[in-house]
C-alpha cells in the first residue's frame, strides 16, 4: 500500500523534467565538486612520478608544518576570545539590565554590515603604521613601536571582533528562547543571579555554543583576508601564493598547495563530523507549554554593575571606533586623511564621486599637476569595474544557488525517506566538507586546461571565461548554506496545503509556483541577500581567481591598501577605501532591511500597511485646510506689503 | 445564524452516493483498514467517529484519493473511482487545519479552484465578452485608436485579468461568499486577519465553490475553542442543509457526531463497530466498545447484577441519566440504597457519585434547585432492567461484528 495519488503513470512533461533534473545534478556534483577535488588529491601523489610520497616528505622536511601550526594556533586562540567577546555582547544586551542596551546592540552588530576585507582595511586604517590611533598613540608616547599592529596579534585582535556576527545572531536567538519560568523557578529556590546564569541559562545555550565554537575554529583555520593584509603566515594565503608560483621558483608548488588544501579539508571534515554527532545527541529544551519571555536581570552588586557597564561600553567603543572613523574620513579630503585631522573645512564628496587634480612638488622642486589623480569610488574606472564585476557575479551566483536549492529541496520533500532524495541532499552538502580554498584551488588547476570534455574543451581560467568559473565557484560554495536555510523554511509548509491544492485540481508546477513558493519566498530572499552580501566583498575566491578579467571588488579594495600616492597616482586611495566601506555598509544594510524588515512581513501585514498608506493619501487629498492656510498666508503677506 | 433542528435521516429508497466495498488499506506490514463497507446516501450528513488512530481519517483520505487502497473499491454515484486522480473526483475537502493558502487573500483562496479549472482561452473569451458588455471596449483598443483614456481603462482591466481576475469566477466567488456569510471586505483580507470561525467558512466556501458532489470534512472544529465550536456546529449543519450536499464528517468528539449527523459509523482499530442513527448508536449500541465510547456509562458489577436478576456471563451497562434518585419505584425497577460520596455541579445538571455496596454509580440529575444532595446523604437509586445494555462477557470479535453487518 502506498500513500500516493491514484494517477496513472504516463510519459509527460514531469518525466522530461525528472530526466533533465537528474542529469543536471549529476553533472553539477561530478563535474564541479568531485572530479576537480579528486584531481587535486591525485596531484599530491603524482607530482614526482618516481616517488609518490615525495611531496609529503618535502612538506615535512621544510617549513610547511609551521603554516599548519600557525593556522591551528590562530583557530585555538580565536575559539577562546571570540567566545568570550561573543557571549559577553549577547549577555550584556539580552540577559543583564545594562543602560543603553539598544545602542550597545547596534554597535555590536556592525560586523553584520561590513566584514572580510572591508573590515580588515577598516582596522588597518585605525591601527596600521600610519593609522589614526597609532598616530595619536605616537603623539602621546613617542617611544611606541609604530608597526605594533601586524602579525599574529593583529590578526587575532581583528578576527576576535570580526567573528562575533554569528554570536550576535544565533546566540541572541538562543538566549531569547529561554523560558523565563525556569529562571524564576531557580530564583525561587534560592539561587543568585550568577548561579542561575551558570546552572540554568548556560546549559540551554551549550548546543548553540558548541556549533559556534566549531564554526569559529573552522573560520580561524581558513582565515584569508586578515592574515594576508596583516602579514601572518597561515595556510590559506600560502595556498594562494603557491598556486601562483611555478616549478622554476620552488619545488612542487602546486602539489604542496594541494596538500595544504587537503590538510585543511581533513580538519574541516573531522570538526563537522564532531558537530553533527553532537547535534544528533539532542538538545536541552524547555518542556513548558507556555513559555514566558525572558526578563532582563538586574545586577544587584553595585561594583559588579559598574564594572559590567564599563566593560560593555569599552567593547562598544572597540566595535564602533572603526565604523565612526571610516564614515568620518570617507567625507574628508586627501590632506585631512593623511594628517588624520578631520575638520569641517576638509569635508568633501570626492571620495565617492567626481575627480580632482593633484599638485605635487618633484624632487627637483618643480610643481607638477596630475590631472584627475584624485577620484571617487564611482568615478574611478578600476573601482567601478570591481564593483560591477562583483555585483553581477555575486547576484548571478546567489540567485543560481537559491534556484538550484529550491528545486532540489522541493524534490527532497516530495520524496522524503527515499534514497535518491538523501543522495541529492548529501551531494549538495558536499562543498560544506571542503574548505573554500580547496574548491577554488581545484577549479583553478583543473579547469586551466583545454582538455576537460564536459565543459566543451574550454579553458575556464582563460581571459573572460574566468568570470564563468567564479560564478560556478561562488554558486557551489554557497549551496550548503542555502540548502540548510531553505530546507528549514520548507518545514513551515503545511502538508495539507499541497493536498488542498491538488484536490482543487492544481498541477505539481502550479502548486509549487502559487502555493509553496510564496510561502518560502521570504526565506529564499533572505538567503539570496545573505549570500549576495557575503559574495559582494568576498576575498578568498577573488584572490584565488585573481586576473585582470575577474578582478572583484575585494581585490580592488585590497589594492587600495598599497598604492596610495605613488608617483602622484591614486592619491586618495585611503579615502576611496573608506568610501568603499561606507558604500558596502549602505548596500548590506539596505539589503538586510529589505529582506528582514519589509520582506519578512506576511500578507496580512502587507495589506494592512497598504490600507494605512491609502488612508494617509486620502487624508492628504482631503486636506482642505492646506488650501485655506495658503490663502490666509497670501492675504497676510499682501496686508504686510500694503502696510 | 439560527440553530436548526437535525434533519431527518435520508430514506432507504434514496440512491447511494458513496459506496465503499471491502476497503483494505495497508501501510507496509500494518493493516490500517480491514474490509470496510459503508454506504452513504445522497444528501446525507454521515460521520466517521472513533478514537485517535482508529482509521477514520484513513477512510476519508481513501475516498478523496490521497490514499490508494490495497483492496476493495470506492464507488461514487455508481461509478468506480478507486483509480481516478484526486483532482478528477469532484470531491471537496475541508481540512483539519483548513489548509488555507497563507499568501493569498480570502478571495484568491476561494477562487483558486475555479481558476485552475478554467482554461486560458476560455478565460480570455469570457473577459473579452465582459469588457464589451460592461465597458463597451474591445481588446483591439489596446493597440489601435488614440483614445488614451479608453486605452488606460482597458489596460487596467487587462492587468487585472492577467493577475487572475475573471468575470465568471468573480461572480461565483461572491455568490458562494454571500452564502457562507463572508462580506466583500472580508474577501479582500489575508486569511491570517480572520478569526477561526471565519477561516472555517472560507475553507468551506473554497471546498464548495467548484460545485463538488461530495464534501469531506476532517475534524474541522478541532482547532477552535469550546464555545465557538458549539456555535459553528449549528452553522455547519445549516450550510449542509442549504447546499443539500452529501457530507462525510470525521471527528473523535461524540457530542459533535451525535448533534450533527444523520448517521454515524463508529470506528475501532480499523474496523467499523456500528453504523446507525445517533439514537441507535447511543441507546442501542451494537458492541461493548460503542457503548463505552459514546457517552458516559456505569458498568454494573456482578453482585449488583445478581441482585437485579441480570444473567451471568454478560457485561451490563446503564447510562447515567437512566438512574433515578429518590423517585417512586417503577414496575421493572430495582432500587438500591446508597450514600452520596461527592458531586460535580454543572449548572444545568448535577453529577453525583453514589456508593452502593462495593460499587460507585455515577448519576446525573436535572438541577431543579430543590433536590440537591449533599455528600454523606443517603439516597435511593432505581435502575430499570429495560435500560440495561448487556453484552457477552467474551467480547464479540470485531471481525464477527463486521461480518454480522
- Cβ within 8 Å of A, B 207-236: 210
CATH code for position B2: 3.40.50.300
Residue A349: DSSP 8-state: S
Among A4, A5, A495, A503, the strongest candidate for a mutation testing the B interface, having the largest count of B CBs within 10 A, is: A503
Tell me the three state secondary structure of residue A296: coil
Q: Measure the CA–CA gap between B265 and B281, rounded to whole angstroms.
A: 9
Residue B385: DSSP 8-state: G
**Which helix or strand (DSSP H or E) is residue A267 part of?**
helix A253-280
Whether A530 has a pLDDT exceeding 90, the answer reads no
* Cell (9 digits) for A529: 541577500
**Assigned domain for B12 exists:** yes
pLDDT in tens, A552-570: 888 888 888 766 665 666 7
Q: Measure the CA–CA gap between B45 and B50, rounded to whole angstroms.
A: 16
Residues A419-440 have a mean pLDDT of 87
Q: Measure the CA–CA gap between A517 and B103, rounded to whole angstroms.
A: 9
- Show Cβ contacts of residue A36 under 8 Å, excluding neighbours closer than 6 positions: A439, A442, A443, A445, A446, A447
The label of the residue with cell 435511593 reads B380
| B313 and B291 within one domain | no
Partner B contacted by A505 (CB < 8 A): yes
- Cβ within 8 Å of B, A 347-406: none
Q: Measured between alpha carbons, how far apart are the two ends of chain B, in Å?
A: 39
Nearest to B289 by CA among B387, B400, B381, B363: B400
Partner B contacted by A1 (CB < 8 A): yes
| B232 and B145 within one domain | no
Tell me the three state secondary structure of residue B317: strand
Q: Which residue of A has its CA nearest to B207?
A: A504
CATH code for position B301: 2.40.50.140
- Show Cβ contacts of residue B190 under 8 Å, excluding neighbours closer than 6 positions: A602, A603, A604, A606, A607, B102, B104, B105, B106
* Nearest chain B Cα distance for residue A605, angstroms: 9
**Which positions in chain A touch B67 (Cβ < 8 Å)?**
1, 3
| B268 and B126 within one domain | no
Partner B contacted by A3 (CB < 8 A): yes
Q: Measure the CA–CA gap between A314 and A243, rounded to whole angstroms.
A: 42
Confidence of residue A257 (pLDDT cuts 50, 70, 90): confident
Q: What is the pLDDT along chain B (405 residues), one digit of tens a residue?
A: 333 333 344 555 667 889 999 999 999 889 999 999 999 999 999 999 999 989 999 999 999 999 999 999 999 988 999 999 888 888 999 998 889 998 899 999 999 999 988 888 888 888 888 888 877 777 777 777 777 887 888 888 888 888 888 889 999 999 999 988 899 999 999 998 898 889 988 999 999 898 898 999 998 888 777 777 887 888 888 888 888 899 999 999 998 999 999 999 999 999 999 999 999 999 999 999 999 999 889 999 988 888 888 888 889 999 999 998 888 888 888 999 999 999 999 999 999 999 998 899 999 998 888 888 899 999 999 999 888 999 987 655 444 444 444
Sheet holding B359-366, edge to edge: B324-325, B378-384, B333-345, B349-356, B359-366
**Assigned domain for B124 exists:** yes
Q: Measure the CA–CA gap between B342 and B355, rounded to whole angstroms.
A: 10
Of B65, B96, B210, the CB nearest to A504: B210
> Residue A469's pLDDT is what?
93
Highest-confidence segment of A125-134, A238-247, A285-294:
A125-134
Of A6, A497, A606, the CB nearest to B85: A6
**Assigned domain for B104 exists:** no
Of B67, B101, B113, the CB nearest to A515: B101
Confidence of residue A83 (pLDDT cuts 50, 70, 90): very high
Whether A8 has a pLDDT exceeding 90, the answer reads no
Q: Tell whether ipTM is more than 0.90.
A: no
* Cell (9 digits) for A623: 486636506
| B284 and B331 within one domain | no
Of B68, B99, B188, the CB nearest to A496: B99
| B308 and B289 within one domain | no
Of A1, A514, A602, the CB nearest to B25: A1
**Which positions in chain A touch B95 (Cβ < 8 Å)?**
496, 499-500
Query: Of residues B225 and A520, which shows the higher confidence score?
Result: A520
Query: What is the number of alpha carbons within 13 Å of residue A505 lying toward its C-beta?
Result: 20
| B387 and B302 within one domain | yes
Among A505, A517, A525, the strongest candidate for a mutation testing the B interface, having the largest count of B CBs within 10 A, is: A505
Tell me the three state secondary structure of residue A334: helix
* Cell (9 digits) for B351: 453529577
Partner A contacted by B57 (CB < 8 A): no
* Contact criterion met (CB < 8 Å) for A494 and B27: no
**Which positions in chain B touch A7 (Cβ < 8 Å)?**
85-86
* Cell (9 digits) for A357: 587634480
Of B26, B93, B103, the CB nearest to A603: B103
- Are A319 and A115 in contact, with CB atoms under 8 Å apart? no
**Which positions in chain B touch A505 (Cβ < 8 Å)?**
87, 113, 116-117, 210
* Cell (9 digits) for A51: 616517488
Of A503, A514, A603, the CB nearest to B64: A503
Nearest to A284 by CA among A443, A372, A439, A177: A177
**Assigned domain for B132 exists:** yes
Q: Measure the CA–CA gap between A631 and A37, rounded to whole angstroms.
A: 78
Residues present in chain A in total: 643
Nearest to A72 by CA among A238, A212, A235: A235
Q: Which residue of A has its CA nearest to B194?
A: A604
**Assigned domain for B97 exists:** no
| B218 and B70 within one domain | yes
Confidence of residue A291 (pLDDT cuts 50, 70, 90): low
Residues A412-431 have a mean pLDDT of 88
* Cell (9 digits) for B169: 469566477
Tell me the three state secondary structure of residue B194: coil
Between strands B333-345 and B349-356, the pairing is antiparallel
Burial B270-291, CB ≥16 within 10 A → b, else e? bbbbbbbbbebbbbebbbbbbb
| B68 and B84 within one domain | yes
**Assigned domain for B194 exists:** no
The label of the residue with cell 449527523 reads B261
Partner B contacted by A12 (CB < 8 A): no
Helix, strand and coil content of chain B, in percent to the nearest 5, comes to 35, 30, 35
Nearest to A257 by CA among A55, A49, A38: A55
The pTM (predicted TM-score) of the whole model is: 0.79
Partner B contacted by A506 (CB < 8 A): yes
Phi/psi of residue B375, each to 5°?
-65, 135
> Residue B9's pLDDT is what?
45
Q: Measure the CA–CA gap between A419 and A414, rounded to whole angstroms.
A: 12
Partner A contacted by B349 (CB < 8 A): no
Confidence of residue A549 (pLDDT cuts 50, 70, 90): confident
- Are B348 and B338 in contact, with CB atoms under 8 Å apart? no
Among A12, A489, A492, A500, the strongest candidate for a mutation testing the B interface, having the largest count of B CBs within 10 A, is: A500
The whole-angstrom distance between residue A97's C-alpha and the CA centroid of its chain comes to 30
Of B91, B99, B191, the CB nearest to A500: B99
Partner B contacted by A2 (CB < 8 A): yes
**How many domains are there within chain B?**
3
Partner B contacted by A519 (CB < 8 A): yes
Q: Residue B84: count other Cβ atoms within 10 Å of its Cβ.
A: 19
Between strands A355-361 and B378-384, the pairing is unpaired
> Residue A147's pLDDT is what?
85
| B219 and B83 within one domain | yes
**Which positions in chain A touch B210 (Cβ < 8 Å)?**
504-505
* Cell (9 digits) for B363: 448519576
Residues present in chain B in total: 405
DSSP A30-72: IIIIIHHHHHHHHHHHHSSTT-TTHHHHHHHHTTHHHHHHHHH
Partner B contacted by A509 (CB < 8 A): no
Whether A2 has a pLDDT exceeding 50, the answer reads no
pLDDT in tens, A435-493: 888 888 889 889 998 888 998 988 988 888 999 999 999 999 999 989 988 888 888 88
| B274 and B320 within one domain | no
* Cell (9 digits) for A606: 502587507
| B369 and B331 within one domain | yes
* Cell (9 digits) for B3: 440553530
Q: Which residue of A has its CA nearest to B113?
A: A504
Phi/psi of residue B326, each to 5°?
50, 45
Tell me the three state secondary structure of residue B43: coil
| B4 and B31 within one domain | yes
- Show Cβ contacts of residue B304 under 8 Å, excluding neighbours closer than 6 positions: B336, B356, B357, B359
- Show Cβ contacts of residue B275 under 8 Å, excluding neighbours closer than 6 positions: B38, B263, B264, B265, B266, B405
Residues A96-118 have a mean pLDDT of 90
**Assigned domain for B190 exists:** no
* Contact criterion met (CB < 8 Å) for A604 and B189: yes
Partner A contacted by B354 (CB < 8 A): no
Q: Residue A22: count other Cβ atoms within 10 Å of its Cβ.
A: 13
> Residue A280's pLDDT is what?
67
Q: Measure the CA–CA gap between A135 and A330, rounded to whole angstroms.
A: 18
Q: At what angle do helices A253-280 and A235-243 cross, to 10 degrees?
A: 140
Tell me the three state secondary structure of residue B37: strand
Alpha-carbon separation of residue B37 from A144, A602, B21, B74 (angstroms): 94, 45, 5, 10
**Assigned domain for B319 exists:** yes
Tell me the three state secondary structure of residue B347: coil
Q: Which domain holds residue B306?
A: 297-392
Amino acid at each position: 500500500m502506498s500513500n500516493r495519488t491514484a494517477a496513472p503513470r504516463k510519459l509527460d512533461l514531469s518525466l522530461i523534467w525528472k530526466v533533465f533534473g537528474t542529469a543536471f545534478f549529476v553533472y553539477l556534483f561530478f563535474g564541479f565538486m568531485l572530479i576537480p577535488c579528486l584531481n587535486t588529491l591525485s596531484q599530491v601523489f603524482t607530482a614526482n612520478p618516481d616517488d609518490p610520497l615525495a611531496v609529503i616528505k618535502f612538506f615535512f622536511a621544510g617549513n610547511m608544518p609551521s603554516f599548519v601550526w600557525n593556522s591551528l594556533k590562530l583557530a585555538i586562540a580565536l575559539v577562546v576570545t571570540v567566545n568570550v567577546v561573543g557571549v559577553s555582547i549577547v549577555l550584556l544586551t539580552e540577559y543583564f539590565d545594562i543602560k543603553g542596551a539598544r545602542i550597545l546592540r547596534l554597535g555590536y552588530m556592525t560586523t553584520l554590515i561590513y566584514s572580510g576585507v572591508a573590515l580588515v582595511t577598516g582596522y588597518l586604517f585605525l591601527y596600521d603604521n600610519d593609522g589614526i590611533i597609532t598616530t595619536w598613540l605616537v603623539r602621546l608616547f613617542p617611544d611606541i613601536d609604530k608597526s605594533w599592529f601586524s602579525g599574529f596579534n593583529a590578526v587575532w585582535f581583528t578576527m576576535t571582533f570580526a567573528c562575533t556576527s554569528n554570536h550576535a545572531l544565533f546566540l541572541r536567538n538562543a538566549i531569547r528562547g529561554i523560558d523565563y519560568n525556569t529562571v524564576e523557578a531557580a530564583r525561587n529556590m534560592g539561587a543568585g543571579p550568577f548561579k542561575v546564569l551558570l546552572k540554568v541559562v548556560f546549559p540551554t545555550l551549550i548546543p548553540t555554543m558548541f556549533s559556534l565554537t566549531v564554526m569559529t575554529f573552522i573560520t580561524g583555520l581558513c582565515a584569508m583576508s586578515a592574515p594576508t593584509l596583516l602579514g601572518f603566515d597561515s595556510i590559506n594565503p600560502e595556498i594562494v601564493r603557491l598556486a601562483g608560483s611555478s616549478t622554476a621558483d620552488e619545488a612542487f608548488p602546486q602539489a604542496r598547495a594541494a596538500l595544504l588544501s587537503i590538510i585543511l579539508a581533513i580538519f574541516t571534515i573531522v570538526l563537522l563530523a564532531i558537530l553533527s554527532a553532537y547535534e544528533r545527541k539532542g538538545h536541552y529544551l524547555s518542556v513548558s507549554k507556555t513559555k514566558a519571555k525572558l526578563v532582563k536581570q538586574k545586577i544587584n552588586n553595585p561594583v559588579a554593575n559598574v564594572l559590567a557597564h564599563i566593560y560593555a561600553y569599552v567593547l562598544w567603543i572597540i566595535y564602533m571606533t572603526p565604523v565612526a572613523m571610516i564614515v568620518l574620513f570617507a567625507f574628508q579630503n586627501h590632506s585631512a586623511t593623511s594628517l588624520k585631522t578631520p575638520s569641517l573645512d576638509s569635508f568633501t564628496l570626492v571620495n565617492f564621486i567626481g575627480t580632482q587634480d593633484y599638485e605635487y612638488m618633484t624632487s627637483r622642486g618643480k610643481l607638477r599637476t596630475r590631472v584627475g589623480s584624485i577620484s571617487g569610488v564611482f568615478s574611478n574606472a578600476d573601482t567601478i569595474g570591481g564593483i560591477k564585476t562583483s555585483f553581477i557575479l555575486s547576484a548571478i551566483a546567489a540567485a543560481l544557488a537559491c534556484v538550484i536549492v529550491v528545486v532540489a529541496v522541493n524534490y527532497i520533500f516530495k520524496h522524503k525517506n527515499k534514497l535518491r532524495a538523501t543522495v541529492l541532499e548529501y551531494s549538495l552538502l558536499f562543498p560544506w566538507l571542503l574548505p573554500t580554498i580547496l574548491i577554488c584551488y581545484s577549479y583553478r588547476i583543473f579547469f586551466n586546461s583545454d582538455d576537460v570534455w564536459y565543459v566543451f574543451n574550454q579553458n575556464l581560467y582563460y581571459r573572460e571565461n574566468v568570470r564563468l568559473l567564479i560564478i560556478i565557484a561562488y554558486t557551489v560554495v554557497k549551496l550548503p548554506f542555502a540548502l540548510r536555510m531553505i530546507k528549514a523554511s520548507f518545514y513551515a509548509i503545511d502538508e495539507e496545503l499541497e493536498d488542498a491544492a491538488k484536490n482543487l485540481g492544481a498541477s505539481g508546477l502550479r502548486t509549487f509556483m502559487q502555493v509553496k513558493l510564496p510561502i518560502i519566498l521570504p526565506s529564499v530572499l533572505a538567503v539570496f541577500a545573505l549570500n549576495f552580501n557575503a559574495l559582494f566583498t568576498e576575498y578568498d575566491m577573488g584572490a584565488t581567481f585573481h586576473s585582470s578579467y575577474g578582478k572583484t571588488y575585494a581585490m580592488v579594495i585590497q589594492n587600495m591598501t598599497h598604492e596610495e600616492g605613488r608617483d602622484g597616482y591614486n592619491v586618495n586611495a585611503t579615502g576611496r577605501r573608506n568610501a568603499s566601506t561606507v558604500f558596502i555598509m549602505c548596500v548590506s544594510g539596505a539589503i538586510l532591511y529589505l529582506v528582514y524588515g519589509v520582506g519578512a512581513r506576511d500578507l496580512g501585514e502587507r495589506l494592512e500597511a497598504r490600507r494605512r498608506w491609502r488612508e494617509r493619501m486620502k487624508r492628504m487629498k482631503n486636506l482642505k485646510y492646506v488650501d485655506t492656510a495658503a490663502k490666509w498666508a497670501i492675504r497676510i503677506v499682501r496686508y504686510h506689503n500694503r502696510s | 445564524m439560527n440553530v436548526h433542528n437535525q434533519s431527518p435521516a435520508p430514506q432507504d429508497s434514496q440512491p447511494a452516493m458513496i459506496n465503499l466495498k471491502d476497503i483494505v488499506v495497508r501501510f507496509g506490514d500494518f493493516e490500517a483498514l480491514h474490509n470496510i463497507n459503508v454506504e452513504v446516501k445522497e444528501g446525507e450528513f454521515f460521520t466517521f467517529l472513533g478514537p485517535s488512530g482508529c482509521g477514520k481519517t484513513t477512510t476519508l483520505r481513501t475516498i478523496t484519493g490521497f490514499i490508494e487502497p490495497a483492496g476493495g473499491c470506492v464507488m461514487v454515484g455508481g461509478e468506480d473511482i478507486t483509480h481516478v486522480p484526486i483532482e478528477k473526483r469532484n470531491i471537496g475537502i475541508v481540512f483539519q487545519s483548513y489548509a488555507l493558502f497563507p499568501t493569498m487573500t480570502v478571495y484568491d483562496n476561494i477562487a483558486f479552484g475555479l481558476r485552475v479549472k478554467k482554461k486560458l482561452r476560455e478565460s480570455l473569451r469570457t473577459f473579452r465578452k465582459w469588457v464589451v458588455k460592461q465597458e463597451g471596449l474591445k481588446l483591439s483598443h489596446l493597440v489601435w485608436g488614440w483614445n488614451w483614456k479608453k486605452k488606460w481603462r482597458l489596460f487596467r482591466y487587462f492587468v487585472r485579468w492577467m493577475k487572475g481576475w475573471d468575470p465568471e469566477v468573480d461572480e461565483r466567488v461572491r455568490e458562494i461568499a454571500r452564502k457562507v456569510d463572508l462580506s466583500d471586505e472580508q474577501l479582500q483580507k489575508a486569511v491570517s486577519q480572520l478569526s477561526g470561525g471565519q477561516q472555517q467558512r472560507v475553507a468551506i466556501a473554497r471546498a464548495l465553490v467548484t460545485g463538488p458532489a461530495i464534501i469531506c470534512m476532517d475534524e474541522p472544529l478541532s482547532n477552535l475553542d469550546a464555545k465557538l465550536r458549539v456555535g459553528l456546529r449549528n452553522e455547519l449543519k445549516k450550510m449542509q442543509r442549504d447546499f443539500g450536499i452529501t457530507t462525510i464528517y470525521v471527528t473523535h468528539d461524540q457530542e459533535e457526531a451525535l448533534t450533527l449527523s444523520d448517521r454515524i459509523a463508529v470506528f475501532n482499530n480499523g474496523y467499523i463497530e456500528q453504523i446507525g442513527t445517533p439514537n441507535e448508536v447511543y441507546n442501542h449500541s451494537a458492541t461493548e466498545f460503542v457503548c463505552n465510547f459514546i457517552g458516559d456509562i456505569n458498568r454494573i458489577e456482578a453482585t449488583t447484577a445478581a441482585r437485579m436478576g441480570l444473567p451471568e456471563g454478560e457485561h451490563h451497562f446503564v447510562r447515567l441519566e437512566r438512574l433515578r434518585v429518590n423517585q417512586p419505584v417503577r414496575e421493572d425497577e430495582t432500587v438500591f440504597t446508597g450514600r452520596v460520596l461527592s458531586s460535580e455541579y454543572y449548572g444545568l445538571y448535577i453529577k453525583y457519585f453514589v456508593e452502593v455496596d462495593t460499587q460507585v454509580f455515577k448519576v446525573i440529575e436535572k438541577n431543579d434547585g430543590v433536590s440537591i444532595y449533599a455528600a454523606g446523604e443517603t439516597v435511593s437509586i432505581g435502575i430499570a432492567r429495560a435500560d440495561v445494555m448487556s453484552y457477552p462477557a467474551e467480547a464479540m470479535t470485531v471481525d464477527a461484528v463486521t461480518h454480522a453487518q
